[in-house]
Structure 1
Amino acid sequence: MIKVREAVPEDKNGWNDVASKSPSATYAHTWEWKEVIEEGLEIRTLCLVAEDKGEIVGIYPGFLKPIANKPLLKGKYVLFSPLDSTWDYGGPCAISTNLPNEIVNDLVIHMEKIAKIKGAISLRISPFEGETLKTILMERDYRTSARLNSLVDLKNSEKELEQKVRKKWRQYVRKAETNGIQIENVNNEANLKLVYEAILSVHQRENAYLPPYSFFQILFKSFDKNKLWVRAAVFENKIIGGDILFKHRNIVVERYRGVFDDYMGLRPYYLMVWSAIMESKKSGFELYDLGGMPSDEKNGIYFFKSGWGGEIINVDWYVKDVKYQTLKKLKHSMGGK
């Protein structure tokens, strides 16, 4: 019989065992990521485990984000899995047993109940994959909100991968190489800070959220270097940009990337992506995840990421409101809007 309960610190090894084996799990399902969110962003977590005969066979990471700027909802939360501000993947996942559907279903049901007790008025889930989970969520009246991603199949040969890349992008890769751009791994906090500043400069230009540097310091210290991949784009012995990627099971996920504005003309972005794809393939990974993209095909990010030959897939948000009366009162207070 499956038993679902809240996770405790002693569950770390069992939790990570599921995260390392489940095909639906990503780096954002690891215990270390949970700790980075808790410490680096001071977000309250609600994480569940499913046990079968005392063994952890399923996990469900959740993050309770306070609802801001709405006095009527003071003390209320949205349960995110993953946290929206870090743009990862979440949802429940299970290891291969004879009861995978039951495990996932029980985790979904218990999360709705416990999150509601903890003050959540809505749940928002974005899983990486898993048709079983998506079916369960739709049957439980979750609605979807579009989210896209592009996955490059690294099982293709290097020649096939290159042929799939947009011609102009291949030219920009060669231009960056000709310009003398080099991509180097980052192994110390001094260079991590420079990479962060480059990434921050892009987010400031785009008026987009980026976690504080302290978050990345904690990440750098908490994650095994075989799982966290930080690189710098170097020009004339100076760091002009960089990126932060994650390695988990058979996939590499790019999450943050940036270049100082003065060096954009050297095309370092293109070399960073292509070199990451090539190195991921040579290291034996099977998929390269371009880290999410908007659904608007006219958007610049969509255009950039769609040019690398990946398969564009849906990784939608699944949304369910669990405290209807609270939401109804809020809607009424806003004039029915």
Structure 2
Amino acid sequence: MISIATKVHITELNGRNRTAWDDFVYTSPNGLPTHLSGWQTVMHQTYGYETHYLLAEQAGEVVGVLPLFFVPSQLTGRRAMTMPGGLCTQDENIAEALLDAGLTAAVSHNLPRLILQDSRQNWPGNGYTAQTRTQHVHWRVALEPSEDELWNRIDGNIRRQVRKGRKNGLTVAVDRSGKLLDPFYAAFSQFTHQAGTPVFGRSFLENIIQTFPEGFNIAVIWYEKQPIAGYFQLIMGGTVYGMWGAALHKYLSLRPAYLAIWEIMADAIAQGHTTLDMGRSPADSNASKFKGQWGGTAQPIYQQVFNERHTENTASIVNQVGSDSKYTLFMRLWPKLPLNITRTVGPRIRWHVPFA
């Protein structure tokens, strides 16, 4: 496909251009681990989705990528979605060309809309019917060259909470081999059960580990030989990205979250990384306030819905999940189900909402 207006050539990801795709993501200021081509394999293996990974080239150089997959759900709506992070480019014209190609592919499969998930940029509609919601932020913390320097820089209250965690008998392990996947999943799935959110399957994480064997780590907090908190990070370009993590509510007084974040930071420094991206949180939430204590800066995250040009308004679509009483009722009922059942049923529900 050729976009004459911007002189951009749009192609599908294939075996010949996969390396060029990833090289672009690695070097782009807007590149994220979730933009990497390997997620095409992860999403297909985990959910069986049809994927359309679109690559923009100009004068023989890669100038943008759009990692797209199709969710043909009758429950939550048929749609084309990006990986968290949206599209990756620095040019609005390139973004428009990628969106145009993505919408063309979506419409050809009878999918009425394209959603840029967790975009770090607010892309203009440029004639498309679009709706943008900004309810989340991500916190980025610059690390120090040494653990001692970081310890001396962070707030005194943070240091006290970390010490309390240790005095309370908590221990922590950070793993880069995948051996802590089971205890992580045990703690995380229990947390999501209590929170009323269906958990993704263990196979999802297995596929990530297999596809990115050097691009992740797992931190687990233990109390009396039980995993009470777990955090799964992705790693790229000197930055550690928090993806999924939680501490069980009944143990929060032991300060597992403080100890976990500190140890993740200390491990990142030991591995030569320079930044911790603490991941997405609702703005002004307790989670966001907790992350804000560590001395970082908050930056907005955008959810953007694009329809074909001159189609219906999408405001009701982009706000649907947060306002629909059916979802509120579901969240109240989910914790009442047995944990083992939610671990079985949850992954089937997540096929309809792969990233919640």
TM-score tier, shorter chain, comes to: 0.7 to 0.9
Question: Could you tell me which amino acid in structure 2 is paired with residue 150 of structure 1?
Answer: W
- 1:271 Cα shift? 0.7
1:200 to 186, 189, 192: 189
Tell whether the 8 Å contact from 1:122 to 1:320 is kept in structure 2 after alignment.
yes
Task: Output aligned runs, 1:269-308, within 5 Å.
Answer: 269-295=257-283, 297=284, 299-308=285-294
Task: Output aligned runs, 1:235-246, within 5 Å.
Answer: 235-236=223-224, 238-246=226-234
User: What residue ranges of structure 2 are gaps of 5+ in the alignment?
Assistant: 1-6, 318-323, 325-356
Give the equivalent residue in structure 2 for 1:80. 81
Structure 1's 157 and 187: CA in aligned 2 closer, same or farther, altered over 3 A?
A: closer
- Residues 117-159 of structure 1: CA distance to partner in whole angstroms, max 9, x if unpaired? 22221222146545xxx35446755331012121112269867
| SS of match in other structure, 2:282 | coil
| SS of match in other structure, 1:246 | strand
Give the equivalent residue in structure 2 for 1:334. none
Q: Quick check: which one's strand share is greater? A: 2
User: What residue ranges of structure 1 are gaps of 5+ in the alignment?
Assistant: 83-87, 95-99, 332-336
- Structure 1: distance between partners of 2:153 and 2:126: 35
TM-score, length basis structure 2: 0.75
Structure 1's 110 and 325: CA in aligned 2 closer, same or farther, altered over 3 A?
A: closer
Give the equivalent residue in structure 2 for 1:27. 33
1:119 to 110, 113, 136: 110
| SS of match in other structure, 1:276 | helix
- 1:193 Cα shift? 1.2
Give the equivalent residue in structure 1 for 2:165. 176
- Structure 2: distance between partners of 1:138 and 1:273: 41
- 1:102 Cα shift? 4.1
Question: Could you tell me which amino acid in structure 2 is paired with residue 192 of structure 1?
Answer: L
State whether structure 2 residue 301 is matched by structure 1 residue 315: yes
- Structure 2: distance between partners of 1:135 and 1:199: 33
- 1:262 Cα shift? 5.5
Question: Could you tell me which amino acid in structure 2 is paired with residue 210 of structure 1?
Answer: V
Give the equivalent residue in structure 2 for 1:91. 87
Question: Could you tell me which amino acid in structure 1 is paired with residue 89 of structure 2?
Answer: C
- 1:306 Cα shift? 2.4
TM-score, length basis structure 1: 0.79
Task: Output aligned runs, 1:223-242, within 5 Å.
Answer: 223-225=212-214, 227-236=215-224, 238-242=226-230
Structure 1's 81 and 119: CA in aligned 2 closer, same or farther, altered over 3 A?
A: same
- 1:228 Cα shift? 0.8
Moved more, 198-207 or 146-155: 146-155
- 1:191 Cα shift? 3.1
Tell whether the 8 Å contact from 1:121 to 1:326 is kept in structure 2 after alignment.
no
State whether structure 2 residue 42 is matched by structure 1 residue 36: yes
Give the equivalent residue in structure 1 for 2:240. 252
Question: Could you tell me which amino acid in structure 2 is paired with residue 292 of structure 1?
Answer: R
